């Protein structure tokens, strides 16, 4: 077993770290306050190749492995997860699925500009009444011969406004339940698409979240991804990889908060010494470090399995559940170590704590990960 990163992996990690620590940090608090989409940073990260980092170079991507992806997402998330979520959604939920299951025409027309970072993608699965229960799709994709007619509403869509290319999951044959669901590539400027208000969220405030309404939207037949009725399994497979990205994001939030707490504890004095010298604080730091290291192993193992073409769905569910849960614990302790300063915005840790909460909710709640894991234990 080799725990060393390759030179290329280290280089990607360093590039993400440099950008996060030099650039993202400058306006992270302001963007959070204004709930402003980080357009400038996304453009810069696209230029550096991060939006299509895992896509095959043949389709305009960077051809990097999932380990590099984990390292990059962790570094970006140490500073700002509203930015890293765009990298994660584009790479895992949009590009990967089109690359693996799309036609050559779809890859030429849609994947190339996505992988080159010229366009942003969004993944539209959740609905007002289909969040955790993803197969209860109400959005209809009626088969009209040479096109599908889309009608319905999607909720909580990351990148909804900034994306140009949507991957939409919708029901074509309700009587077939999940076997009647399809996945489609839909251009955001198609007639009949409208957006709800920008969601005013607790955390990840500058990520661009809206509901999306479809009214008689015509989608060409050739934009269906995969066989007729493959849409639910498509969504599940795409989410298996997406959860590695969100696990890495949670890991980054936890390690970012830890770095701040460690630094603060070495500077702040109480009872005649730096607070890190008090066992009450030192033991907190130790517990936080152990949890972060364990989360890192989970994330890297899931990525390694993916890179080596081995089943990774359960590993990614474990990585996501554990990393998200410890991100909440670690950020809460980081605020506690900062005391009153942790509760105000300028010290960053309260923002990381608010951001951590979402990692327990999106791309499958912690409870959904437990369903996935326990079903795998109980089958046969």
Supply the residues annotated as catalytic: 363
Judged by CB under 6 A, which of 21, 132, 215, 374 binds ligand CAA?
132
| CB-nearer residue toward ligand CAA: 106 or 366 | 366
Burial of 310 (0-12, 13-18, 19+ CB in 10 A): exposed
Can you say how many angstroms the Cα of residue 277 is from the centroid of all Cα atoms in its chain? Answer: 37
Binding ligand CAA (rule: CB under 6 A), the pick from 5, 101, 147, 178 is: 178
Does position 203 interact with ligand CAA (CB under 6 A)? The reply is no
The stretch near ligand CAA (CB under 6 A) out of 2-10, 131-139, 252-260, 349-357 is 131-139
Q: Which residue matches tokens 């997402």?
A: 73
Q: Which two tokens stand for residue 45?
A: 């990260």
- 19-78 binders of ligand CAA (CB under 6 A): none
How do 273-274 and 269-270 pair as beta strands?
Answer: antiparallel
The answer to the question of residue 99 lying near ligand CAA (CB under 6 A) is no
**Closer of 52 and 364 to ligand CAA (Cβ):** 364
CA atoms of 279 and 285, how far apart (whole Å): 10
Which stretch of DSSP H or E encloses residue 292? helix 279-307
Count of residues engaged in binding ligand CAA, rule: CB under 6 A: 25
Does residue 125 touch ligand CAA according to CB under 6 A? yes
Where do we find the tokens 């994947």? 111
Backbone phi and psi for residue 134, each to the nearest 5 degrees, phi listed first? -65, -20
Q: What gap in Å lies between CA 204 and CA 32, rounded to an integer?
A: 7
The angle, 0 to 180 degrees and rounded to 10, between the axes of the packed helices 66-79 and 7-19 is 20
Least CB distance to ligand CAA at residue 311 (A):
9
89 lies in the site for ligand CAA, by CB under 6 A: yes
154 versus 338: smaller Cβ distance to ligand CAA: 154
CB-wise, 123 or 184, nearer to ligand CAA?
123
Whether residue 210 contacts residue 166, with contact meaning beta carbons closer than 8 Å, is answered with no
Binding site for ligand CAA (CB under 6 A): 85, 89, 123, 125-126, 132-135, 156, 158, 178, 232-233, 236-237, 239-240, 313, 362-364, 368, 371-372
């Amino acid at each position: 077993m080799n725990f060393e990163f390759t030179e290329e992996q280290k280089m990607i990690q360093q590039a993400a770290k440099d950008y996060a620590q030099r650039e993202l940090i400058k306006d992270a608090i302001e963007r959070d306050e204004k709930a402003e989409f980080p357009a400038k940073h996304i453009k810069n990260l696209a230029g550096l190749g991060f939006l299509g980092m895992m896509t095959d170079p043949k389709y305009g991507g960077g051809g990097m492995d999932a380990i590099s992806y984990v390292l990059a997402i962790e570094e970006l998330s140490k500073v700002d997860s509203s930015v890293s979520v765009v990298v994660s959604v584009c790479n895992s939920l949009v590009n990967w699925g089109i690359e693996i299951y799309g036609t050559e025409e779809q890859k030429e027309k849609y994947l190339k500009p996505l992988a080159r970072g010229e366009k942003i993608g969004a993944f539209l699965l959740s609905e007002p009444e289909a969040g955790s229960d993803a197969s209860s799709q109400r959005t209809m994709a009626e088969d009209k011969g040479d096109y599908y007619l889309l009608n319905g509403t999607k909720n909580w869509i990351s990148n909804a406004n900034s994306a140009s290319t949507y991957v939409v999951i919708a029901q074509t044959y309700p009587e077939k339940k999940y076997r009647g669901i399809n996945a489609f590539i839909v251009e955001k400027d198609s007639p009949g698409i409208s957006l709800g208000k920008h969601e005013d969220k607790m955390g990840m405030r500058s990520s661009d979240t809206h509901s999306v309404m479809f009214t008689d939207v015509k989608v060409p037949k050739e934009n269906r991804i995969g066989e007729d009725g493959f849409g639910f399994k498509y969504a599940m497979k795409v989410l298996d990889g997406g959860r590695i990205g969100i696990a890495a994001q949670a890991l980054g939030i936890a390690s970012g908060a830890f770095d701040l707490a460690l630094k603060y504890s070495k500077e702040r004095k109480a009872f005649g010494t730096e607070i890190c010298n008090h066992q009450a604080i030192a033991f907190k730091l130790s517990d936080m470090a152990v949890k972060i290291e364990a989360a890192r192993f989970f994330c890297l193992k899931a990525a390694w399995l993916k890179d080596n073409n081995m089943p990774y769905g359960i590993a990614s569910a474990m990585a996501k559940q554990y990393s998200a849960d410890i991100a909440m614990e670690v950020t809460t302790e980081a605020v506690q170590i900062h005391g009153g300063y942790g509760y105000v915005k300028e010290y960053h840790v309260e923002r990381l704590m608010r951001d951590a909460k979402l990692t327990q909710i999106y791309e499958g709640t912690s409870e959904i990960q437990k369903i996935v894991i326990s079903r795998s234990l109980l089958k046969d």
